[in-house]
Chains A and B, each alone.
Chain A
Amino acid sequence: MYYICRMNREFVQNWFSQVKKGTLSYIILIILDEKEYYGYELVQEIKAHTTLEVAEGTLYPLLNRLKADGIVESKWIEQESGIPRKYYTLTRDGKATLTEMKKIWTTLGTAIQRIQK
């Protein structure tokens, strides 16, 4: 007897969007750990380093939440164009939060690797 096994595309897409949603703040913190970025530049950096298609409209609410939680801080820097850029950096609490998140991510990754064998 033959069975045709098909991937449940809808299930995988839902799962992937949940994974994206859950990891976006982690990715942002990793990128901001290197240097300060302004919003548009941050989007380009995420695109350059990952295959994630970031919904840009969700980035600013997320940055606002991270700022309200004291994880990132921001400052406006004037530009020659007259249109300033808002630069984001990690706070000291943000750096400590990222260190903890890295530990959790490593533990989770190791556990999944072990299960997948």
Chain B
Amino acid sequence: MTTATAPRATSAPARVGVGERALAERRLGWMLCGPALAVMVGVTAYPLARAVWLSLYSYRITDPAGRHFVGLRNYGVVLTDHLWWSDVLTTVVITVVTVAVELVVGFAFASVMQRTLVGRRFIRTSILVPYGIITVVSAFAWRYAFALDTGFVNHVFGLGHFAWFGHRGSALFVIILAEIWKTTPFMSLLLLAGLAQVPRELLEAAEVDGATKAQRLFRVTLPNMRAAIMVALLFRTLDAYRIFDTVFVTTNGANGTETVSFLAYRQTITRTALGLGSAVSVLLFASVVLIAVVFVKGFGVDLARARGER
């Protein structure tokens, strides 16, 4: 921003021109940002406000005339329902396991990418493919791989006729596996950028001083890429918490695999209970905000700095 501020130091007679210039710059700034801001806020703020408003009503699309104000009763219904808490638990389990495994696997991928000299391009390509692939497609691949009829997993591993999607634990295992496969690339690329920031001299100095591999990893590498790790964790946690596509395709929420997003979808779109569904949506939004606040305030993730904005 140096160029923008530099002319301001000029003497008094020039100030009128500078003021006009600054004003023109301001106007141009808002003109350029206006459309983007309008689209971003228009499609999120208004519907969100409407979701909050709808959540205070008993309202089904199939019965518009029967819409009536119920206050916070929808929230009461959701929060006292066993299903809501079961879905929250499922979502939290998926989020925690997925992100934890991804952090380790993603770090391993990043280390491999950083060290590999031969075939770097090829490895980067193969890591990026899951990132670009449609989530629904990846979910189908995993579903068919584990399915009783079409699957090869039972066959190859000699598991007989084990119904992977018939039990909560094994169904969640497949869902988590599919999620990890699809989203580890994103994690590993953020970590690779973090790895590049670790000063080489520090690692060399540690090696000269006789530090073991583990010591160098835990005392030098990881502390120096803390910012990158935290940002990657924040983005992936928020993303994992919103899981929907994979659940829809693999189990359709059956056998205790329904997630919070899936519940919101089922209430609003499938059951067209917009009032109750909006209450679920607002609660989902609130929990995402809570996660973000915990990361930013609790763990001190400096997003502005981490995202390149000083």
A, B from the same assembly: no
